[in-house]
Structure 1
Amino acid sequence: MNTATDHPVEPTGPGGGADTGEPGAGPTGGGRTETGLRFALLMTVVTAAGITMLNNALAPTPDDTPGDSLGCMLASGIDPDGKNLTNILVGAARPEALEECLSGVPEVEYWKGMVATLFLLAVAALVFWWLPRRRERWHRTLPIATVDRDGGLAAELAELRETAGIDPRVRFRVDPARTTAGAVVYGRAGLYTVCLHNGLLVRRGTDPEGFRAVVLHELAHLRNRDVDFAWSSTALWRVFVLLALLPFLFSTGRILVTGLSGRSSSPFWPGAASMLTYSLLNGLLLVALVHLTRADLLRRRELHADAQAVAWGALPAGWDQPEGPRRTSLLRARLRRAGQLLRTHPGWAERRAALADPGRLSTVGAPQMFLTGVAGSLLVNALGVIPRPAGLGGNALLTAALVAPVLWLVLRRSVLRSTRTESGLRAGLWLGCGLLVGELTNGNTSGNEWLTAEPEYVLALPLVGAVPAVWSAQSSRLEAVLRGRWPRGLAALLNGLVTLVLLWGGLGWWRASGRLQAMGLTGEFDGFRTFVTRTNPGPWQDYAWELSASTASLPTLIELNKSVPLAVAAVLMVLFPLCLYARHPGTGLRVRPTLAAGAAGGLLCWAAFAVLSYALHLGRPGTLRERTGAFQYVQLWWLLLTVTAACAMTAAWVAGFSGRHWLLRALLASQVVQLLGYAGIFLAVSADGCLGPMDVYGSNCHWLPANGRIILKLALAQSVTSITLFSACGALAGAGVAWVVRRRHGKPPTTPATPPAVARSWPALMTGGLALAMSLTLLAAVAVVHAEGPASSSASSDGARKFRELLDTPPTARAAKVREWQALAWLTKGGLTRFGRISVAFLALADALRKAGDQKPNANGKIRLDSEEFSRLCADLAKEAGAAQTYFRVPDADLQKKWSNALHRLDRSGRECVSALADDTPTSDKNGDDTFLLSIDDMPAAVKELTLVLEELRARAAPS
């Protein structure tokens, strides 16, 4: 309980709670674990940011292009002045070529940031070891024996140390220069020191209970190893600022000033100005994040240390300290509250309130979740420079593995210990808002355009935090009825795993799909539309709206439904609460009315199917062949849209009229609708032809379950995960609307008290069993859909190949300087090398033909060729032409078309030459229509076309 505030930088007594091994146990409510995880997250962010910053600070300036990795970017066709989305698509068009090009960059460039960061961590460890020694020398503290003449002080301190269960090796010292009635702890493992201020010794004579409270408070810090957290974070942050942040800000600022002043000859100006500005903002945001997060953590640890001291026998009267003068001005009061966010110690009023109401320590604070979200957003972007196994799932999984435990533990402790009702919605929204702020400040979404093209996708980030938070909080409330260590431990583990997967799925969707859609992928890039129309031919002019809507949702559906862990987690969102209900029906989940609401939603879905089938029947093409392709795609899309809408509307309705467990009930009802909707799809397609005005395809009545299984399998593959997640978002919307309506009408929130546990009854058990069976059915459907590995993967691979073919039209840079550098980079990074290989193969074939022409013909006037040699030469030429096709596209649309056509002709001619010689057929120059001669005749023209393209690029790369 340190009252000194003149040294805000040093850790003067962070607080923490006793660790009992179980969240929510002990007088401090598991605060030690939660703050420890947040400390770990913060330090991980600092370390990962150090890698990026040091890598950028040590990297060459853009003026060195195209001699470094930036040259590979220019060679791929990236235009620094172009749109951010266009540049991303350009980089994705030839990933193999880009990887090959970057592999030629010296390895030290890639690893230098990591090596420098290891050096930074080593320096931080030395500083951590040195700081306690520096403090003792700076403050000139004295041993206790110098002021304890009768030995009473040492005996009392030993008694307090034994009460707290502290290692006897801890040292007590006195700071004679400090007149405040406080104390401070510092040191490291095995060498901890409690330094008592001189004013505290005076207080011992006038207020012995206050003296005991201060000492017990400081010993609580030692008991929970809070000193290690605080001093290690201080050491790492100081070293990071000195060795990474300041050099990064200096180098980035210098490049930015040089470019804006017009003294830079780099082609990356002015396009790089916005990205460098975002980098500077990102560095400043990290400074604010570290200071605010560290202050918040230390304040919370102070409150936990107060609670621990009271649990050890300190009297709450020791915290009756006078506050400073109160301000009557509203503006000053608000400024004072804002200033408290920067303080590492809470005020006396806040401390007394926390001691009077221990549940306050377990409530979820908006600042802590917001700062956690900002940290997660910075981390998921900073991890991009760190190598990692592909099987881990990338940056999103590593970030979720640090953020999800914080979210889960905070909510679980709040539900189990707080006196306030915790829904998780407020915590999740603040977490998502932190993700949003970090993403906007990072600049990856807007790039060099400052504003995103589709900002509504950015607004989905709060839902990424809200859905797992609300589910975790409400599931934790259900766990409270469990008895026994193992059942509660298993339930807590499943809760944490599902929360982790949901958060990972949300972050993964954002990085893989949501961010691109926010950049305007579906609005400005026509590849999805072309892909759908090519795959499903038909009169798409009649389905313009359906085509636009389906292609806009296609990236999200693909990303959400391709992950098996996310699909299992989506089912467990319903299955897990039902298992708890089956064990304890008196949890207040109210399964039977929820199933009834789901059945009503399913009937509504079937009615919508009937209307949809009738509408499709009226507009269906005349022949059965015409009803495939586009028409079949439109039907499947409408069926999925109907099921999704019915599930989301049912979830919103149930959530709006529910009190406790509104998300869990909404998900259960939506799953009933989902299963009934799938059953309706199977029946409608299987009985098509027997439904009269609702027939979509057939006109003859036949029961064809095979057709139903085919359509149902397609529906499951595209919706089994996304419908559950969309239903959760619909439930959030329904609950939000209901809350607004109640507030406007002055009605209290419908949150009844926790119902008492009741004995099992047969109706409850049957209802729970039915719900479990339905959940297991959907889980089995997930397993069946994702079990078809080879067929699904081959279809996905073929689709990806066709989609990448749509990216084969390269953009042309707007600035002449950029076009010059692109041409130079394209030539030097592999273009000349590939053309040289083609030239060598062609000259070898031409030389062999010349030698064969010098031979004397046979008696029949024909020339006998060595088919094996010519077949090898033709195959080499076709191979080199095919390899050149995988290289970067020529950074000009017209030249790329000529280059691609010439390579295609060479590849085709070479393969035709090999095919013609396969039977060892003798040929002669008289047989002009021979396949062999036709293939040979087209090769010189194709090589000449390639030569003209290279000459044009040379002229552009070296202007006069």
Structure 2
Amino acid sequence: MSTATEHPVEPAGPRGDRADTGGPGTGPTGGGRAETGLRFALLMTVVTAASITMLNNALAPTPNDTPGDSLGCLLAAGIDPDGKNLTNTLVGTARPEALRECLSGVPEVEYWKGMVATAALLAVAALVFWWLPRWRERWHRTLPISTVDRDGGLAAELAELREIAGIDPRVRFRVDPARTTAGAVVYGRAGLYTVCLHNGLLVRRGTDPEGFRAVVLHELAHLRNRDVDFAWSSTALWRVFVLLALLPFLFSTGRILVTGLSGRSSSPFWPGAASLLTYSLLSGLVLVALVHLTRADLLRRRELHADAQAVTWGALPAGWDQPEGPRARLRRVGHLLRTHPGWAERRAALRDPDRLSAVGTPQMFLTGVAGSLLVNALEVIPRPAELGGNAWLTAALVAPVLWLVLRRSVLRATRQESGLRAGLWLGCGLLVGEWVSGSTSGNQWVVAEPAYLLALPLVGAVPAVWSAQSSRLEAAALRGRGPRVLAGLLNGLVTLVLLWGGLRWWQASGRFQAMGMTTEFDGFRTFVTQKYPGPWQDYAWELSTATAALPTLVELNRSTLLGVAAVLMVLLPLCLHARRPGSGLRVRRTLAAGAAGGLLCWAAFAVVSYALHSGRPGTLEERAGAFQYVQLWWLLLTVTAACATTAAWVAGASRQHWLLRALLASQVVQLLGYAGIFLAVSADGCLGPMDVYGSNCHWLPANGRIMVKLVLTDSVTTIPLFSACGALVGAGVVRGVRRWYEKSATPRALTPRALTPRAFTPAAVPGVVPATRSWPALMSGGLALAVSLTLLASTAVLHADGRPDTSSSAPSEETRKFLELLDTPPTARAAKIREWQALAWLSKGGLTRIGRVSDAFLALADALREAGDQKPGANGKIRLDSKEFSRLCSDVAKEAGAAQAYFRVPDADLQKKWSNALHRLDRSGNACVSALADDTAATGENGGDAFLLSLDDMPAAVKELTLVLAELHARAAPS
């Protein structure tokens, strides 16, 4: 390999008596090779995606301080580079149509420029990959093997080893006379592979022939596993990326940052852009560290697999008995930075066959960071990002890695693998990558609502735990190769969809909540109160929790594919258990726990119904609005909370397959909950103090079916996912409490029997078993219930039509501030920014729209002047052309409405004047049209007064627009 060490690497020990593994991807370590191959692909995809943005920025000229490009559209929209990230996000998206129209006039060449440059970079990397072997041979001045093989014995032995490994005879063997170490290196490309033996290895052949064979077989294993292609292609791409993309990007960004911080820049974007540029520099540096750490970890693991393959081919483990050397301690300190493990680690791997199958914490964390950087880097390509392509590509690279790692660990390792640690570290990597990318924090170092970031570990943990436990159940239930392959593929597909669903939810909803945009959801309050009128002041809590959870439910329920995966999370384990009932799922106990949870759900229905009954309105008409909505909300909330609480309880009380059992129990609760809803709603009116809506006793199954359908439609996807999160919380709390008890408890007597694990637990800690099955589970259930309360939304809002009307109800204080922010963007603090905002607002369409309003008004005024020059009729009045004047008045109203849809004036006071003037023009124009709709208006006998009265307010409104224009001109061109 290009970066191979000069010695064999840590092997995992023999895996059987087979002499051949059957090629890459099969045999004792095939799963590990596939996993590292996917991680190489993920890493190189991250580098390629990062190149688009970096080359785009590096090829751009000095930052344009004129609002003539896309930056001008943002300034015209009211963006303040020195303002808060949340405020800029809300203001920038307040007029999406206007922003889209403005940007449509800007040539979209930026990201295409970066993509073209990236394509050129890949072409250069391909050339480097093609020529690297030749350059290496010229640099090191290697010699053919025939120059040192006088009797031909070395060539014969190498040919024998090559046949054992099943390597193409075209592989060349060369010698590096300048290297005295007893090692070798393999390099090249397809059709031109070379194994270069160091001069010290030839000397070792005479003193330690088995060690010589071990080194050569190790290098041939690299060829068999195609490690050379991975290593050399990644080396070529990384070197070209650093030289042509990373360094120019860091230089250009750093130069801008230094210029701005030194005070030499006159740009209005200082100091607001400082944190953004710092984030860019930090992302580049973290990318360097990520690539190096990940590549080093991958190469170490590929070396381990090559050693395991060499041992399988007959290399003796004694060939790895080499001294550590004087720098062993120093090497152990920088272990993560090295591309090869030390001799001690190699020998430990020979003694532990499960080492290669164990889930490594660094590999999962680095995979998560790479996935997060990739999903954010791909957002630079607009169309695929809008369609969710970045989430799909990221999940398609990350999910197979997770699935292969867990599957190999479960099927090969002797230790229990729950997948929880791997999933949490993957999620932590997603979290760190999200912070480094700065996509949620913008120009602030800390997001407004950091608690939402805690959802990212769950995004990684849920699919990981489910995949690991399903794989373990599959290993116990299935024996044939065909059924195992089918079950494994279904496992991988569900894992892929679950991870994709989590990433897509984060992009579409979670990140905006983390940015602090939760107040936006209060706008749905008015929507609900308009659709379901009633005394909402009596149901403030229900309305707040429902509207706060709406974005999460909308995003989770919109995908049919995610819904199918949520159902398969329960059905696939059940099918495996049906194949072999003794697989350890304990279905009977799980069903009993689910039935108990269903009874608790019915009891909760009774409590909720009793509480609603005591406060229900007196008439059916009054119950049809807000009260009916609240009833639906509480039914949905109760079912979901009961399922999540039951899942937390079962997971906390189970030791094996705890997530699968929790999901199964929650589904039993869900079905019983639907049955309870059907019975309660169908018999509503016959339940006495638990009647919610009806007053007369009737059996109405149609009402029950409608209610069940509404609840089921919006919970069939969310309940399994929420239950899985509740199970993770429950299992985590109980296991944490259990470990705390085990550590804090002291044995009664320090006897050898008491110190054994089997005797220590029941004798020294008699209260552990009862405690783990009682109050810790209750605690976990309470946490799961709290999670459900904050994440659940109302079905009625999801299916209602129409738009919110802010005038139909009194909004909350947070809603009022939010609407004010959207209606009137805050005035920038810096005078320079206000100047550029005014100039951008005028040049990007403000002047055009004011001109159109002015032209429409002047056309109406000219028509009136011409009509005034006519001779009055017999009644002393002038006859008007009603169709013509109706058209002219309509033009005024239409142009006023078009101007109203343009960007808000980037000043609070001027925006109020602008909005008021346009509103008056729009109202006057429509009043004019209405007045002329009466035929008598044309004669002026009865409608003339209404027509003239409608025009009275227009001159004052136009004058106010003129004052706004003058103020903006003065601000855009200060003296």
TM-score, scaled to structure 1: 0.89
Question: 1:156: which partner in 2?
Answer: 157
Give the aligned residue type for 1:585: P
1:478-524 Cα deviation digits (max 9, x unpaired): 22233444433322222112111111111122222222222222268
Change (3 A) 1:813 1:527: farther
**What secondary structure is seen at the aligned counterpart in 2 of 1:341?**
helix
Greater Cα offset, 882-891 or 726-735: 882-891
Cα distance in 2 for residues equivalent to 1:256 and 1:15: 53
Cα distance in 1 for residues equivalent to 2:568 and 2:972: 59
Cα distance in 2 for residues equivalent to 1:66 and 1:153: 73
1:499 to 478, 495, 500: 495
Cα distance in 1 for residues equivalent to 2:733 and 2:797: 41
Question: 2:907: which partner in 1?
Answer: 892
Cα distance in 1 for residues equivalent to 2:680 and 2:283: 54
Cα distance in 2 for residues equivalent to 1:6 and 1:477: 39
Change (3 A) 1:801 1:549: closer
> Shift of residue 271 of structure 1?
1.7
Contact kept, 8 Å, 2:82 with 2:270, in 1: the verdict is yes
Question: 1:553: which partner in 2?
Answer: 549
Question: 1:451: which partner in 2?
Answer: 446
Question: 2:318: which partner in 1?
Answer: 317
1:685 to 668, 681, 692: 681
1:762-812 Cα deviation digits (max 9, x unpaired): xxxxxxxxxxxxxxxxxxxxxxxxxx9xx9998467469999988434333
Give the aligned residue type for 2:163: E
1:560-579 Cα deviation digits (max 9, x unpaired): 22222222211111112112
1:444-500 Cα deviation digits (max 9, x unpaired): 222223222322111121111000000111111222233444433322222112111
1:812-855 Cα deviation digits (max 9, x unpaired): 32333322222221111111112222222332333333333333
> Shift of residue 890 of structure 1?
1.7
> Shift of residue 902 of structure 1?
3.3
Give the aligned residue type for 1:852: A
Give the aligned residue type for 1:667: L
Cα distance in 1 for residues equivalent to 2:352 and 2:651: 31
**What secondary structure is seen at the aligned counterpart in 2 of 1:172?**
strand
Give the aligned residue type for 1:950: L
> Shift of residue 62 of structure 1?
4.7
Question: 2:609: which partner in 1?
Answer: 613
Contact kept, 8 Å, 2:501 with 2:562, in 1: the verdict is yes
> Shift of residue 526 of structure 1?
4.6
Question: 2:704: which partner in 1?
Answer: 708
Cα distance in 1 for residues equivalent to 2:516 and 2:573: 39
Change (3 A) 1:817 1:705: farther
Question: 1:763: which partner in 2?
Answer: none
1:564-599 Cα deviation digits (max 9, x unpaired): 222221111111211222233232212121111111
Change (3 A) 1:487 1:936: farther
CA RMSD of aligned residues (A): 3.3
Question: 1:364: which partner in 2?
Answer: 359
Cα distance in 1 for residues equivalent to 2:531 and 2:823: 18
User: What are the residue-to-residue correspondences of 1:324-723 with 2, within 5 Å?
Assistant: 324-325=325-326, 337-389=332-384, 392-480=387-475, 481-522=477-518, 526-723=522-719
**What secondary structure is seen at the aligned counterpart in 2 of 1:265?**
coil
> Shift of residue 865 of structure 1?
4.3
1:87-143 Cα deviation digits (max 9, x unpaired): 112222112211221222233334221122122112211221222122111110000
Give the aligned residue type for 1:570: A
Question: 1:48: which partner in 2?
Answer: 49
> Shift of residue 928 of structure 1?
5.4
Give the aligned residue type for 1:542: D
Give the aligned residue type for 2:627: F
> Shift of residue 233 of structure 1?
0.8
Question: 2:239: which partner in 1?
Answer: 238
Question: 1:224: which partner in 2?
Answer: 225
Question: 1:257: which partner in 2?
Answer: 258
Cα distance in 2 for residues equivalent to 1:60 and 1:469: 45
Cα distance in 2 for residues equivalent to 1:834 and 1:15: 77
1:18-70 Cα deviation digits (max 9, x unpaired): 986897x4121322211111001001111111111122223345551412222
Greater Cα offset, 946-955 or 114-123: 946-955
Change (3 A) 1:856 1:524: closer
Give the aligned residue type for 2:424: L
Question: 1:843: which partner in 2?
Answer: 858
Greater Cα offset, 185-194 or 489-498: 489-498
Question: 1:142: which partner in 2?
Answer: 143
Cα distance in 2 for residues equivalent to 1:440 and 1:912: 54
User: What are the residue-to-residue correspondences of 1:774-785 with 2, within 5 Å?
Assistant: none
**What secondary structure is seen at the aligned counterpart in 2 of 1:361?**
coil
> Shift of residue 916 of structure 1?
5.6
Cα distance in 2 for residues equivalent to 1:866 and 1:641: 62
Change (3 A) 1:352 1:145: same
Gaps of 5+ in 2: 744-755, 759-794, 808-814
User: What are the residue-to-residue correspondences of 1:279-294 with 2, within 5 Å?
Assistant: 279-294=280-295
Question: 2:788: which partner in 1?
Answer: none
2:964 to 936, 949, 957: 949
Give the aligned residue type for 2:373: L
Change (3 A) 1:14 1:420: closer
**What secondary structure is seen at the aligned counterpart in 1 of 2:195?**
strand
Change (3 A) 1:600 1:794: closer
1:514-564 Cα deviation digits (max 9, x unpaired): 222222222687534454445444433333333333333232222222222
Contact kept, 8 Å, 2:528 with 2:797, in 1: the verdict is no
Question: 1:169: which partner in 2?
Answer: 170
> Shift of residue 726 of structure 1?
1.4
**What secondary structure is seen at the aligned counterpart in 2 of 1:193?**
strand
Cα distance in 1 for residues equivalent to 2:611 and 2:944: 58
Cα distance in 2 for residues equivalent to 1:97 and 1:268: 23
Change (3 A) 1:467 1:634: same
Question: 2:790: which partner in 1?
Answer: none
Greater Cα offset, 630-639 or 63-72: 630-639
Cα distance in 2 for residues equivalent to 1:648 and 1:625: 35
User: What are the residue-to-residue correspondences of 1:842-881 with 2, within 5 Å?
Assistant: 842-858=857-873, 863-881=878-896
2:836 to 821, 831, 852: 821
**What secondary structure is seen at the aligned counterpart in 1 of 2:175?**
strand
Contact kept, 8 Å, 2:125 with 2:240, in 1: the verdict is yes
Change (3 A) 1:15 1:580: closer
Contact kept, 8 Å, 1:928 with 1:934, in 2: the verdict is no
> Shift of residue 302 of structure 1?
0.2
Contact kept, 8 Å, 1:601 with 1:673, in 2: the verdict is yes
Contact kept, 8 Å, 1:363 with 1:418, in 2: the verdict is yes
1:623-669 Cα deviation digits (max 9, x unpaired): 43443443333333333332222111111111112222110110010
> Shift of residue 937 of structure 1?
4.3
Cα distance in 2 for residues equivalent to 1:12 and 1:877: 81
> Shift of residue 194 of structure 1?
0.7
**What secondary structure is seen at the aligned counterpart in 1 of 2:823?**
coil
Number of residue pairs the alignment of both structures matches:
912
Change (3 A) 1:837 1:14: farther
Question: 1:832: which partner in 2?
Answer: 847
Give the aligned residue type for 1:470: V
Give the aligned residue type for 1:274: S
> Shift of residue 727 of structure 1?
0.8
Change (3 A) 1:20 1:827: farther
Cα distance in 2 for residues equivalent to 1:16 and 1:954: 81
Cα distance in 2 for residues equivalent to 1:61 and 1:673: 62
Contact kept, 8 Å, 1:3 with 1:182, in 2: the verdict is no
**What secondary structure is seen at the aligned counterpart in 2 of 1:107?**
coil
Cα distance in 2 for residues equivalent to 1:182 and 1:594: 58
Contact kept, 8 Å, 1:22 with 1:30, in 2: the verdict is no
Cα distance in 1 for residues equivalent to 2:75 and 2:343: 60
